[in-house]
Each structure stands twice: as structure tokens, then as C-alpha cells.
Amino acid sequence: MACQGLGPNETLATLKTESETLKTKLEEERAKLHDAELHQVAEKVEALGQFIIKTRRTLKGHGNKVLCMDWCKDKRRIVSSSQDGKVIVWDAFTANKEHAVTMPCTWVMACAYAPSGCAVACGGLDNKCSVYPLSLDKNENLAAKKKSVAMHTNYLSACSFTNSDMQILTSSGDGTCALWDVESGQLLQSFHGHSADVLCLDLAPSETGNTFVSGGCDKKANVWDMRSGQCIQSFESHESDINSVRYYPSGDAFASGSDDATCRLFDLRADREVSVYSKDSIIFGVSSVDFSLSGRLLFGGYNDYTINVWDVLKGTRVSILFGHENRVSTLRVSPDGTAFCSGSWDHTLRIWA
């Protein structure tokens, strides 16, 4: 956003006053519309029954902490990355490994599958996001075809292809997000506004237009216009780092998971937090969140090794899933909603259904 010139009477003092006034006004506007709670509105909705979700596959092969994973659009392949620099592509149906690449850096914190299924992107402590085309020839050295796309000045925390293989959105420890052209490596747009490391991002469902949400160590979740680079909305109610953000399937809201041990739901049209998913007994941070297909269930992976399943409308926990032997670091529901995958510091990934 271009900064307009200062008016004749604008000084640091007048601007500070105006900023305080505007902040108060924003709070008042938001409070005026707070006429109900989500769980109150949803009182008459039938409660959910018993849940039988179990581990159906365990993917073993990483030699160290699994940090990130993503599903392929074909609903069966998965890419995962770990602390020891390995990126593995799996067939989740058979639990077989299809490809493996060793990155030149450790702590590969981000990985993503291209929409076509023909490439994966990953990065971490190397401050870059690189794209590897996947070859049908299992013997081919994937590392040889690697393409460096994004360059940040600090670690890469998350990456995602937009709705084509041609553009990648990244977030970084340098406090910015950026949109890149894969072919040329050119920076198309950068997003400034966070005052600390940006840890996560999620693109709005394609029907709802060109926006994305990011969360960071400044406890803020920001919604951005991809074309202009403008921050459209900002939410600040978490009490600690936001590790994960995910859009509600309709695109009108998003959930976040934080080190403050809560998950929260923010509605974009009401411009405020509308639900908090927490319990006194849950004291460990949430690393990763995702919705089921209808948005009724919110899955959260926690640092206490568990996965909590929340009823989004009623605000209650419907299930707690045990199985991982260390922190759950990443969690994604499959594209057709038949299962979800969790990755953990215990070196494994689990498919739950």
C-alpha cells in the first residue's frame, strides 16, 4: 500500500491520537454486533453421536521429526517433510513410499503438493522454497531437477501453491508473506504487516476470491488481498503464537490454533472471533488445525501428543485421539474428506478414518 504524503497538520502526536481513537472505534463497532454466541445460535442443532475414528495406516520411514505434510488432489498421495531434511511422497492407501528427496538443509518446515500432482514444493532453514518435479521414473534423481523459487531472509514456515502449478505463496520467519511465479522465480507480491515471524498461511477456497489468511508470533491473524498486497482484516485475540490457520469450507470464516492451548473461530463477515475451543485440562499448544468437509468438525493436533476433535457449532469436544508418541506437528484432512493425516515428532504419519 503506497503511503500517502503527510497532511499539513499531521505530526507523530496527532497520528498517535488518531490511531488510538480508531482502535477504540473498531472495538466499539465489533462489540455492537456481538448480539449472540455461536453455541447459543446452535443450541437446537442435534448433538453429534459417538465417534469411531481410528488410525488406519501408519507411515514409517522418516528418520526424524515430521514437520509438515500435504495431500495430493488425487486423495491418496501425501508429501511429508522432516527435521533431517528428507521429503517423502507416499501412497497413503498402501503406505508405500513413491519418492524421496534429501534437501540440503535440515528442518524442512514446509511442504506442499502441486495441484497437478506433478511436483512438490518444500523449504525451511534454507530460507527458500524449492519446487521438485516428480518423475514417473523411480530411479531418477529428483534433486537434479530442483528449481529454487522463493527467497526470504529468514526460515520458510509455510508454502502453498495457488490454484495452479504456476504460483506459490510463502510465509517466513522474516515477518512477511510473498507470492512467487514458479517458472521465473519472480516475486509477484509481498505482504507486510506482521510484526514478528509468520508461522502459517491458508488460501481461501477458490470460489471466494483471491484472499489468504496468515498467522504469526505477533498473535495476529491477518487476511490479505493477493492482488494488491493489502491487509484487509486483522484479528488479535490469541494470547500466544498462532501456529496454524485454516479456512472454514464456505470461506466465510477461519480457524486458528495457538500456543495458548486454544483453537478459535473467526468470522470474516462479523469481523470478530465467534468461538473458542478450549478446556482447563488442555494446557499444551495447538500445532495444527483442519476442518472436516462440512465444517462441523475441527481437528486439532496438540503438543501433548493428542488430537482433539471439536464440534465447531456447539464449542464442545467430541473426541480425543491417542496414538502418537510425541507432539503432533501437522494435520490435514484429505481432499474428499474421507480421512485425515497427522504427522508427529515421533517420526511417523498416521491416517485416521
Partner 1 sequence: MSGSSNLVAMKKIVQQLRFEAKINRVKVSQAAADLQQFCLQNAQQDPLLTGVSSSTNPFRPQKVCSFL
Nearer residue to partner 1 within complex by CB, 75 or 97 = 75
Shortest distance, CB of residue 132 to partner 1, whole angstroms?
Answer: 26
Shortest distance, CB of residue 269 to partner 1, whole angstroms?
Answer: 5
Helices (H), 3-155: 12-32, 38-41
Specify whether the backbone of 107 is left (phi greater than 0), alpha (psi in -120 to 50) or beta: left
75 phi and psi angles, rounded to 5 deg: 65, 5
Q: Please state, in angstroms and as integers, the Cα–Cα distance from residue 134 to each residue in 53, 109, 147, 170, 198, following that order.
A: 32, 20, 12, 20, 28
Nearer residue to partner 1 within complex by CB, 159 or 223 = 223
Nearer residue to partner 1 within complex by CB, 16 or 145 = 16
Shortest distance, CB of residue 61 to partner 1, whole angstroms?
Answer: 18
Contact 37, 320 (CB under 8 A): no
| Amino acid in the structure at residue 268 | L
- Residue by residue, DSSP assigns 274-306 as EEEE--TT--SPEEEEEE-TTSSEEEEEETTS-
Of the candidates 30, 20, 43, the one whose C-alpha atom is nearest the C-alpha of residue 270 is 30
Shortest distance, CB of residue 228 to partner 1, whole angstroms?
Answer: 11
Nearer residue to partner 1 within complex by CB, 94 or 141 = 94
Shortest distance, CB of residue 297 to partner 1, whole angstroms?
Answer: 6
Nearer residue to partner 1 within complex by CB, 130 or 222 = 222
Quick one: cell of 204?
A: 481461501
Q: What is the contact surface with partner 1 in residues (CB under 8 A)?
A: 1, 3-4, 6, 10-12, 15-16, 18-19, 22-23, 25-26, 29-30, 33-38, 41-42, 45, 48, 51-53, 56-57, 76, 92-93, 193, 230-234, 248-250, 252-253, 267, 269-272, 274, 292-297, 312-313, 333, 336-340, 351, 353
Contact 213, 220 (CB under 8 A): no
Shortest distance, CB of residue 204 to partner 1, whole angstroms?
Answer: 15
Nearer residue to partner 1 within complex by CB, 143 or 232 = 232
